[in-house]
A and B are shown apart, each in its own frame.
Chain A
Amino acid sequence: GAGVSQTPSNKVTEKGKYVELRCDPISGHTALYWYRQSLGQGPEFLIYFQGTGAADDSGLPNDRFFAVRPEGSVSTLKIQRTERGDSAVYLCASSPYRGAYNEQFFGPGTRLTVL
């Protein structure tokens, strides 16, 4: 079956611009996660959705970052006034239900480059 998909695969933008990154989870998965992976680092937790609501957004670095999941399926990560330090690979993952017994399935990521 189809896995987690993320679009675009690559995004180049200029400092100060607004970007949206999209995640399509595996069909039927209720939990969705966003991570950020900077060069040479492991993924860093940003936010977790259970259904439509953000259950934990403690990893969002500042108020320029925002994520939504209005219908409990597709999610969009939004970054305002981008900065060069936002350059990273943004990963999305989904799981059937919240819980450590359920594996998080990761997408291939969106590589964001801020010039």
Chain B
Amino acid sequence: AQSVTQLDSQVPVFEEAPVELRCNYSSSVSVYLFWYVQYPNQGLQLLLKYLSGSTLVKGINGFEAEFNKSQTSFHLRKPSVHISDTAEYFCAVSLIYNFNKFYFGSGTKLNVKP
């Protein structure tokens, strides 16, 4: 069975500090990987995705993530956060042979403080 683990339910950070949101997955087959962001009272929005190729993926708003197959991880990073990055972030995977079915983690709430 597939599963996605986001160990940190909440991450407080000061503005302009770096941040890393952790995501680990479990799957017996190859996967595609995604990060979505949910701003208050808005729908989920795609930040970035890894399908193949370079393991370092750059997304919108200065975020990037690195796929580590040996550690089954896909951690999200940003070198300097802004107040506007305050939101909930979800990691998701889909199987390469059934890519329309997403498995989401439980989310990490990023709280950027001034």
Contact = CB atoms under 8 A, between A and B. Distances in A.
Given A42-B107, A43-B90, A100-B51, A3 B43 contact: yes
A106 B101 contact: no
Where chain B touches its partner, the secondary structure class is strand
A109 B102 contact: no
Contacts, number: 64
Contacts of A98: 99-100
Contacts of A100: 32, 49, 51, 94, 96, 99
B103 A45 contact: yes
Interface residues of B, number: 27
Nearest to B107: A42
A107 B43 contact: yes
Given A41-B106, A42-B92, A48 B101 contact: yes
B90 A56 contact: no
Interface in A41-96: 41-45, 48, 55-56, 58-59, 91, 93
Given A56-B101, A58-B101, A100-B94, A42 B106 contact: yes
Interface residues of A, number: 29
A91 B94 contact: no
A31 interface: yes
Interface of B: 4, 6, 9, 32, 36, 41-46, 49, 51, 90, 92, 94, 96, 98-107
5 contacts: A3-B43, A41-B106, A42-B104, A58-B101, A104-B102
